[in-house]
Homo-oligomer: A and B are copies of this chain.
């Protein structure tokens, strides 16, 4: 590998929770995993309204300073890129402001509460000419990147249908309190904007833009206890959005999978699955399956003349993109955090002006538009079309 010139990139962080920690860890890992790229993130400043968050940022995560108001980070001339890990309802506000301040943004998803907010961020990014990345981490597993290659090479033949389920159990307990995610004002839609948004992006990444959908949504736990330590403690409050959603889809004509059909499900109250974020793709010559709970595995079946057909369980190996960067041999597991390192690398490459296949705010908007279409469809019972977003990085023909 020829080494690129070293480039220091000043990092700002907005909100120091688990995701903020994860972004920070990813930045720190990039020069370790990809030394020849010359990317040298410098953790400049973090913002958090809580003192505990600020001291964690400086003492543990390694930021040079921490402040209460994120606007200070956006105004900091040493900051080149901003990781936006605040709660969903602040994404648009912070994202737009960061872009206008000339900062490149890595924004967790959903980028906004619905397509409208996401479009606002997109507009700000385009206007400012900054780079953007959206935290669609399910694009990053080597097994998924290998799947995309196989699909692109035609190994599955012509794609006929896709079947995806993103089933989590993290909201399954009816006694878990009514946090911000259950309130429309702070979260927008429920599992639709959360897990289904990830799933839609994964479909885009593997198979190309979805053209139209018909959908339904449900709310099965209709009220939850108020948050302890707030005035709502001790009473039940309504859940304002969906905890289950599904859809049928057709691909856009520009998609690699044009003509194919599919079904998608998402639930955050499944009792059994933990993070069964899974997808199956079928074509005329073969099929493949992947499940986040076993992120290092890809099941692949390809028809071969004269041979019995079945799924082969492939463990990520050196032929899977990125894998050899992390582990010396097949069978040794990468972890979730490694996916964020890959994501950070792609973002930083883009920031450094080098070729990169990072997801962008355009992909965030593409996903958000499908979700908005799904909401409309769930209300109307009709199929709803979703226009293709210029600049998306989905899999086209």
Contact = CB atoms under 8 A, between A and B. Distances in A.
Query: Which of A168, A269, A288, A309 has most chain B Cβ within 10 Å?
Result: A309
Nearest to A19: B328
A160 B310 contact: no
- Which one of A158, A272, A286, A319 has the highest number of Cβ atoms from chain B below 10 Å of its Cβ? A272
Contacts of A10: none
A284 B270 contact: no
Mostly, the A contact residues are mixed
A332 B270 contact: no
Interface string A47-73: 000000000100111000000000000
A145 interface: no
Interface stretch (A81-89, A93-101, A335-343, A351-359): A335-343
Interface in A317-332: 317, 319-320, 326-332
A70 to B, nearest CB: 22
A232 B331 CA distance: 31
A163 interface: yes
A284 B301 contact: no
A163 B276 CA distance: 14
Interface string A233-256: 000000000001011101000000
A274 B311 contact: no
Given A174-B284, A271-B285, A331-B273, A216 B261 contact: yes
Nearest to A218: B261
Contacts of A289: 272
Interface of A: 18, 25, 28, 31-32, 35, 56, 59-61, 156-158, 160-161, 163, 165, 167-170, 172, 174, 214-216, 218, 220-221, 244, 246-248, 250, 259-265, 267, 269-276, 282-289, 292-296, 301-303, 308-315, 317, 319-320, 326-338, 381-383
29 contacts: A35-B56, A35-B59, A158-B220, A160-B269, A161-B265, A163-B165, A170-B329, A216-B261, A218-B259, A246-B262, A247-B248, A263-B264, A267-B282, A271-B301, A271-B302, A272-B287, A272-B289, A274-B310, A274-B329, A275-B331, A275-B332, A294-B294, A294-B333, A295-B333, A308-B320, A308-B330, A335-B335, A337-B338, A381-B383
Interchain residue pairs A-B with the least CB separation, the first 7: A335-B335, A275-B331, A274-B331, A272-B301, A272-B287, A312-B312, A274-B330
